[in-house]
Amino acid sequence: MSHKEQEVYFSLLNQERKVVTPKHLTGMSEGYARKLLFNLSRKKALYRIAKGCYILIPSDMIANPSKFINDPCIIMDQLMGVFEEKYYVGYQSAAYLHGIAEQIPFTVSVAVQNQRRPLRIGSQKIEFRKVSISKFFGIERMNYSGSFLNVSDLEKTIIDCLERYDLCGGIDEVTRTISNAVDRIDGKRLIEYLGWVGSKPLWHRLGFILDKLFQSNYKVNKKILFDIYSHLSNRIYPLDPKAGSGGLSKKWKIVENVNCVSWLHA
C-alpha cells in the first residue's frame, strides 16, 4: 500500500468501519475517494460488494479474507445503514441465530420495507424479503461475534417461519424448529404477536403444531394452547396450502395434509 492508502485503511480500522463507501473518506473529492477504495480492493484490503461499496478486511485477515466476508451477519448493521434501510434478520436465519434451527441456512434472509435485489458476499447470498410496515415488529438487538444487528425475537421468528414456511424448509422443518423453542416461548408475547399479524390460518396452524408437539411429550405450555384455541375461527384451513388432501383435525379445524412430525421417526 502507498502511504496514503495505509493512512486511509488504518483510519477506517480505528473507526471500526466494516462497510465503506466514498462518503466515509472525508477531506477529499469523491473521485479521489473512489480511486483510493478501488486501489485498496485490488490490494485485498477491501472486498467490493456493490458499486462504490466495500467490506473492510481486518488486518489479521488480509492474507485469508474468506472467513470474514463469508459471514454477512458480521457486517449486516453497517451494510443496511449504508443502504439507509430498516431491516431485521429473519426466518430461518433468525432461527439459526437463536439456536433453534437444525440446519444452517445457505442464504441469509433479511426483512426490509422496500424491494431490494439479492446481494452476494463471498460465497454467501443475502435475500431481501419485503415486509409490510404493519409486520415490522418483534425486533431485538443481538450481539453477534462482537457486532450488533437487528434480529426478529424468538416469538416473531416462530411466526415468520410458519407464515413463510416455504423459505424455511417446509412445514415439517418449521415444526422441528418450533420444537427446539417450546421451553423458551413467552406465551403472552406470542399471543400478542399473532393478534398483530392478523392471520387466522396462523392461529389454527400454530395451535395444531404445538398440540402435536405436546402429544409427543414436548413441554408446551398448556395456557398457550388454550389461548390459541380461544382465537380460532369457524373456517377450516389446510396445514400446508400447497399440499393435497388429508385427515381433518376437528379440534384445530386443520386439514392434516402433511406429516409435520415425520422427523421424530426419522
- Delineate the domains of the chain, giving CATH numbers in brackets: 3-65 (1.10.10.10), 72-265 (no CATH)
- Cβ contact 261:216 at 8 Å: yes
Nearest CA among 105, 97, 101 for reference residue 144:
97
Handedness of CA 128, 112, 208, 98 (dihedral sign): positive
Beta bridge pairs of residue 256: 247
Please state, in angstroms and rounded to a whole number, the distance separating the CA atoms of residues 253 and 266: 27
Q: Is 218 in a helix, a strand, or coil?
A: coil
Handedness of CA 205, 209, 212, 217 (dihedral sign): negative
User: What's the pLDDT at 194?
Assistant: 97
E strands, the chain, are 19-20, 46-50, 53-56, 87-89, 107-112, 119-121, 124-130, 139-144, 147-152, 237-238, 247-249, 254-256
pTM over 0.85? The answer is yes
User: What's the pLDDT at 62?
Assistant: 76
pLDDT tens track, the chain, 266 positions: 788 888 998 999 898 888 999 999 988 899 999 999 999 998 888 988 888 899 898 887 777 777 667 788 988 999 999 999 999 999 999 999 999 998 888 899 999 999 999 998 878 899 999 999 999 999 999 999 888 999 999 999 999 999 999 999 999 999 999 999 999 999 999 999 999 999 999 999 999 999 999 999 999 999 999 999 999 999 999 999 998 888 999 999 999 999 999 998 76
- Cβ contact 107:85 at 8 Å: no
Helix residue spans in 165-242 (DSSP H): 171-179, 187-197, 200-215, 222-229
Please state, in angstroms and rounded to a whole number, the distance separating the CA atoms of residues 150 and 139: 6
User: What's the pLDDT at 68?
Assistant: 66
User: What's the pLDDT at 67?
Assistant: 66
User: What's the pLDDT at 102?
Assistant: 87
User: What's the pLDDT at 150?
Assistant: 98
